[in-house]
């Protein structure tokens, strides 16, 4: 009868914690036109200090890319985040990457998702800068706020906030 007193349990915002410890960098500084031009979506990038990636929120692995260099995570709201280790790292055919999860796995914030060999990536002449993107075309996403932070600690600092609708 007094339904207007019910609390809306649907969340309005989703904080995306830094999945990697390192230095935050704007997408415009990523040496790849698709990321720098935000053609794939809004977000930020991280210059990694260590080769470990952690889940930035509770959700599931929507896709572990076949070459293991990237993962798409999905929140229960439908919002997705792409974490793409390095630039042109698909050319390494998975050799620098050791995923700890598979497509379909459920993950908890702070859980190790992947380890990657930064030296092997650099020795191949590739940048290790890692875009963290909210892909375009996700209905649940209304807006993406990029946080103005420089030094990031995985699991402790918020890099993005997704406004849900």
Q: What domains sit in the chain, N to C, each tagged with a CATH number?
A: 23-164 (2.70.70.10)
Q: Is 75 in the active site?
A: no
**Catalytic entry in 69, 75, 84, 147:** 84
Write the pLDDT tens digit of every residue in 16-48. 999 999 999 999 999 999 999 999 999 999 999
| Residue 84 contacts residue 44 (beta carbons within 8 Å) | no
pTM score, whole prediction: 0.93
Residue 127 backbone zone (phi > 0: left; psi -120 to 50: alpha; other: beta): beta
Q: Give the model confidence (pLDDT) of 121-159 as tens digits.
A: 999 999 999 999 999 999 999 999 999 889 999 999 999
Question: Alpha helices of the chain — where are they, by DSSP H?
Answer: 33-36, 118-123
């Amino acid at each position: 009868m007094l339904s207007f007193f019910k609390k809306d349990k649907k969340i309005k915002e989703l904080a995306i914690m830094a999945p990697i410890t390192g230095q935050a960098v704007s997408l415009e500084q990523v040496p790849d036109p698709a990321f720098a031009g935000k053609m794939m979506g809004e977000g930020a990038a991280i210059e990694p200090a260590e080769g470990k990636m952690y889940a930035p929120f509770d959700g599931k692995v929507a896709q572990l890319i076949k070459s293991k260099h990237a993962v798409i995570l999905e929140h229960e709201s439908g919002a997705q985040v792409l974490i793409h280790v390095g630039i042109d790292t698909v050319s390494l055919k998975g050799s620098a990457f050791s995923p700890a999860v598979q497509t379909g796995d459920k993950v908890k914030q702070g859980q190790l998702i992947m380890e990657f060999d930064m030296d092997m990536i650099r020795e191949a002449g590739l940048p290790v800068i890692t875009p963290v993107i909210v892909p375009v075309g996700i209905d649940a996403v209304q807006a993406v706020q990029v946080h103005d932070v420089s030094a990031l600690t995985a699991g402790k600092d918020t890099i993005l906030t997704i406004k849900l609708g």
